[in-house]
Structure 1
Amino acid sequence: MTDKREAPSSNWFTGGAEYATFRPSYPTQVSGFLAEHTPAAGVAVDVGCGTGQLSVQLADYFDRVLAFDPSGSQIAAATEHPNITYEVASAEALPVPDGSVDLVTAAQAAHWFSLSDFYAECRRIGRPGALLALVSYGILRISDQDVQERFGRFYYDEIGPYWDPERRYVDEGYRTMPFPFDELDVPELSIDADLDREAFLGYIGTWSAVRKAEQQGRSDLFLNFSSDIVDIWGDNGRPRQVSWPVAVRAGRL
């Protein structure tokens, strides 16, 4: 595997407002576990922060959180918090002083990075004993079997060809990505939620693969899928239970 990857065109993603509305929040056990294993609770850096899904949780544990994303629209829609400073910046060139950070995180983002350059930045900014954590959530499962079956066909067969190759690292829980650090054992975690039909389709609409398909003239894929889900879901709009497996690779810098 090469680690010289380019981030996708920013317009393969929805705007920051949709991302903030429909993307799931991480279980608080993630930030709690990471805080417990860092040398101090001074500064955390969240790289590829999006609209701050993990940043705001880290702010409950650290005196200061520096959150960076290459997308200005994501930063503009980020959740404000007095302990968080948001800034547009890439993972490979972080505007952070040497040896100043207790924790570096990258949530649902590391598969877009040039890993060798990102890891070099982590080593540069980390204090002795600082922690690095790559966090990802995998393919959702939904309790309704009819919805799950239609979702599976959409994910693997219809929209599947429009995922970038790096998506497989998310599906694999980042297990196959290079991670040259002394790793910690992390408990199994998941994101569990009740979603109504609009929230379910809204989340899928934030996928980069959906945007890429639309750019290539295949907006019908998501439209047809949405129409089928409306029919399967029924008129009552009853929320369904969904779950995403959460993977965390954490190690000492």
Structure 2
Amino acid sequence: MSSVDLNSDLGEGFGRWNLGDDAAMLALVSSANVACGFHAGDPATIRRTVRLAVGRGVAIGAHVGYRDLAGFGRRRMDVPSEELQADVAYQVGALAGLAAAEGGRVTYVKPHGALYNTAAVDERVARDVAEAVAAVDPSLVMLGLPGSPALAAASSAGLATAAEAFADRAYRADGTLVPRSEPGAVLHDPDDVARRMLRLATEGVVEAVDGTLVPVRADSICVHGDSPGAVAMAGRVRAVLLDAGVRVQAFAPADVRA
């Protein structure tokens, strides 16, 4: 590929507690998955993150999740369809309002944590998320796991889709992510991660934990903003891609108004 998007989960501080270095990450990534207040983020933190993204010309995405501040949105929940659709629509709308206040616009949606993982395998949840997003703004792009029900449901709902790979997560041979509860699920070596992502960009494969080369189609690469050393990792991935002639470019427009 001649270009690829680099995204990160941002705006995940809460009140007096900071999580990650949003300013540093926004100097490196081309898309920002901004927390919407359900799994993390308060209005002031979210607005500051959006302001920084607009200033950098970084595309803004709604990082919607389960209503789970205590569990950081990483606990699977059985939420009825009517409630889940309302929750997703509420989060997208809240971020859209804060983005508009800073002269920007939300251009895509990426579910967070347990909601992302559930929508990647559960057709009902995938459909609920997609229909909620389409009802709010059918021009939004859905970012998700390639080949998953999440993207299939988004397409059925009339949404454009983009597929992503994870720089700092280990893969199984079937193309799914190794659960965070298992050893080795999160990768920490910036050089190793950068080499993996360069191979993804140039060969379209990621090495699984068993050594299998897994074909992965990706429009975007995610580096989690809350991971230790996230800034150094994102910087290394970006540098290696650029050195190889691969542009770092948002898959969805930043659409920043003057």
- TM-score in terms of structure 2 length: 0.31
Q: Over alpha carbons, which structure has the higher Rg?
A: 1
More strand, by proportion: 1
